[in-house]
Structure 1
Amino acid sequence: MYPPKHHQDYNNENIKSVAINYPFAILISAQETKPFVTHAPLIFHGDKLVGHIDANNPHVHLLKGKHPITVVFQGPQTYISPSIYTTNQLPTWNYIIAHATGTVEEIKDPEVIKKSMVIMTDFLENPNQAFNLSIEDPRMDRLIPYIHCFEIEVQQWEGKFKLSQDKVPADIENAKQELIKNNQKSVADFVNGLFKKHF
């Protein structure tokens, strides 16, 4: 991702924390000039990222055989109005984003696939686990032919955390609070509005 350096985070643990807390990822592959983009949750199995998508997705043929892939995890983001600063500034946009680049390989063993689904469910159910997926559930065996499971060996992590780091401490704090407030409010407003239109 484009610098400037003061918006880059070089601590892999910080960058991976975006993937852990915002696991719904954008998977990007390319074949010649044609891009393939899929949205799916990914979770860590050791140092690798593991996910599942519909076996009929046309992206599947690039999610095997050590094809290169880029994954984007997007954390909170918001417009920052100059009105929140104590100093004279221009409008901007703050965000927390992590990129992972590496190679992807198909997982074919049905037992490994089922186990990965149980691990993902346990992870996503935390911290208040209300549902446990059993690897013995007969529906799992019926599902296997319809999903494509894959793992990504990450070769590089890159983090861009644009958080008004170049401002004075009071403005950094104000921008942080604006990021928190706007994400909580915008999600509630958008989802409530969407449900009113469709239901």
Structure 2
Amino acid sequence: MSNYPPKHHQDSNKEHLIEVIKTYPLATLISVGNNQPFITHLPLILENDKLIGHIDIYNPQTPFLKDNRDVTVIFSGPQCYISPSVYSTTQLPTWNYIKVHLKGKVKAIESKSALKQSLITMTEFLEAPEHNYILEPDNPRMERNLDYIKMFEIDIVEWEGKFKLSQDKNPKDTKAARAHLIKTNQDSIKQFLDKVF
């Protein structure tokens, strides 16, 4: 880990990072090809220190997700603005957030049977805990789409947790900032959806 962000905003506990990945699996996948960056947002599932994903064959990033190329992946947890009014002590405005940055090597998985099983496994994971839907192996819609999806895996070579949660404040203010983060995320989703839809 680098010296930025400050040590008290870094988390090297791998179990904490895994929990972020499992709870917020929609990732930002960044790679470089033809001297330009490519960015895609897609769910990635962690299996034995590898991230497994699927991408549309027409996505311009797809050709660069092979050959042991370098990629960066960002998982984003909750985040919000923290007003000085949240604290019991004099502070400046700030932003709290949880992020996990991973670097790795990507390779394409060409096996159709592996792709099919991976789609079933990912669906099972994302449907937990209720499992209201089961993607059956003989699902005709899945079969028709297998030619339009590429599977890839990423070997993780570097883990970095960025947990900026007012840890440098006194315990009362840290607790207040945490409560504000929870409330703001719950309220902001409703407010945003009410405005947009």
**2: CA distance between counterparts of 1:129 and 1:37?**
30
Which digits, 9 at most, give the CA deviation of each residue in 1:11-48, with x for residues without a partner? 11111211110000000011353110001000112221
Unmatched runs of 5 consecutive residues or more in structure 2: none
- Please show how residues 14-53 of structure 1 align to structure 2 within 5 Å: 14-31=16-33, 33-53=35-55
Deviation at 1:140, TM superposition (A): 2.1
Query: Given the two structures, how large is their TM-score scaled by the length of structure 2?
Result: 0.96
Q: Match of 2:61, SS? A: helix
Q: Which residue pairs with 1:8 in the alignment?
A: 10
Q: Which residue of structure 1 aligns with residue 182 of structure 2? A: 180
- Identical positions, percent: 51
Which residue among 162, 165, 172 is the counterpart of 2:164? 162
Residue of structure 1 in register with 2:139 after alignment: 137
CA distance in 1, matches of 2:196, 2:30: 27
Q: Which moved more, 1:40-49 or 1:156-165?
A: 40-49
- Give the alignment of 1:95-110 within 5 angstroms: 95-110=97-112
Partner SS, residue 137 of structure 2: coil
Secondary structure of the 1:127 match is coil
Which letter does structure 2 place at the counterpart of 1:24? L
Higher mean C-alpha displacement, 135-144 vs 173-182: 135-144
* 2:155 corresponds to 1:153: yes
Q: CA RMSD in A?
A: 1.0
CA displacement, residues 42-62 of structure 1 (integer Å, 9 cap, x when unaligned): 011222110111110010111
Q: Partner of 2:66 in structure 1?
A: 64
- 3-state DSSP class of the match of 1:123? helix
* Most deviating of 129-138 and 69-78: 129-138
Distance 1:137 1:18 in 2: 31
Hey, what's the Cα distance between the residues in 2 that align with 1:82 and 1:3? Answer: 21
Deviations 1:79-106 (A, max 9, x none): 0000010110000000000011100111
Deviation at 1:68, TM superposition (A): 0.4
Partner secondary structure for residue 157 of structure 1: strand
AA paired with 2:42? Answer: A
Which ranges of structure 1 fall in alignment gaps of 5 or more residues? none
Partner residue in 2 for 1:123: 125
CA distance in 2, matches of 1:23, 1:175: 24
**CA–CA separation in structure 1 for the residues paired with 2:142 and 2:34:** 36
Q: Which residue of 2 aligns with 1:194?
A: 196
Kindly tell me the number of residue pairs found equivalent between the two proteins.
195
Amino acid in the other structure paired with 2:108: E
Query: Given residue 91 of structure 2, which amino acid in structure 1 is its aligned partner?
Result: Q
Q: Runs ≥4 in structure 1, deviation > 6 angstroms?
A: none
What CA distance in whole angstroms lies between the structure 2 residues aligned with 1:29 and 1:9? 24
* Cα distance between partner residues in 1 of 2:49 and 2:110: 19
